[in-house]
């Protein structure tokens, strides 16, 4: 079987960052999938499901309520390896094009107070598995250590 694109990425040398994972054309639209890599693969502890679930709820809600990105957001969700997330946006985009919105999104999560959107039995299939303090911690850490002064090595996949 042919390897899918995400399994051809060199995870040994992969740093935390924002990467273009793939681009797909659907009709007349280009969809760009971004790899939001919050943890260094195989070198640092992965995130637990509860904080990832919380980040997913907050990020998806933020993006779908954003004045510019509401119609551009196709999907936001976790990676199975628990080292980050994928976001699919409408448009032929590069990593540098989304740093501003992702900085805004992670700032929103890092400072979030209140009830987590959609965290009820009616709205979510596992609503009790949430951890807002850790979601805020992970978001702030990624924001401060990577996004605020992002380097080229954190936007281009290693060969």
| Sequence-ordered list of residues with C-beta below 8 angstroms from that of 108, at least 6 positions apart, any chain | 58, 62
Q: Confidence band (pLDDT; 50, 70, 90) for 137?
A: very high
Comparison of pLDDT for 66 and 3, the residue scoring more:
66
Percent of the residues in the chain that have a pLDDT greater than 70, as a whole number = 100
pLDDT in tens, 92-105: 999 999 999 999 99
pLDDT in tens, 12-36: 999 999 999 999 999 999 999 999 9
Handedness of CA 80, 132, 44, 99 (dihedral sign): positive
Nearest to 139 by CA among 103, 97, 108, 106: 106
pLDDT in tens, 47-58: 999 999 999 999
Percent of the residues in the chain that have a pLDDT greater than 90, as a whole number = 94
Q: Confidence band (pLDDT; 50, 70, 90) for 2?
A: confident
Q: Which pTM value belongs to this model?
A: 0.95
pLDDT at 6: 80
Whether residue 8 is predicted with pLDDT greater than 90 in this model: the reply is no
DSSP output for 114-139: SPPTT-STTT-TTTT---HHHHHHHH
What the chain holds in terms of domains, given with CATH numbers, is: 5-154 (3.30.1360.80)
Q: Using CB atoms within 10 Å of the CB of residue 14, give its burial: 0 to 12 exposed, 13 to 18 middle, 19+ buried.
A: buried
Q: What is the mean pLDDT of residues 117-126?
A: 97
pLDDT at 7: 85
């Amino acid at each position: 079987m042919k390897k899918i694109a995400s399994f051809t990425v060199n995870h040994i040398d992969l740093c935390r960052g924002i990467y273009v994972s793939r681009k797909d054309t659907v009709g007349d639209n280009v969809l760009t999938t971004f790899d939001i890599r919050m943890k260094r693969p195989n070198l640092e502890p992965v995130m637990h499901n509860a904080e990832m679930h919380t980040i997913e709820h907050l990020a998806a809600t933020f993006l779908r309520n954003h004045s510019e990105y509401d119609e551009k957001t196709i999907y936001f969700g976790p990676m199975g390896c628990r080292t980050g997330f994928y976001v699919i946006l409408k448009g032929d985009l590069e990593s540098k094009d989304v740093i501003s919105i992702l900085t805004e999104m992670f700032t929103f999560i890092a400072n979030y107070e209140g009830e987590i959107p959609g965290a009820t039995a009616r709205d979510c299939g596992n609503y009790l598995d949430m951890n807002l303090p850790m979601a805020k911690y992970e978001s702030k850490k990624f924001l401060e250590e990577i996004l605020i002064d992002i380097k080229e090595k954190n936007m281009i996949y290693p060969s």
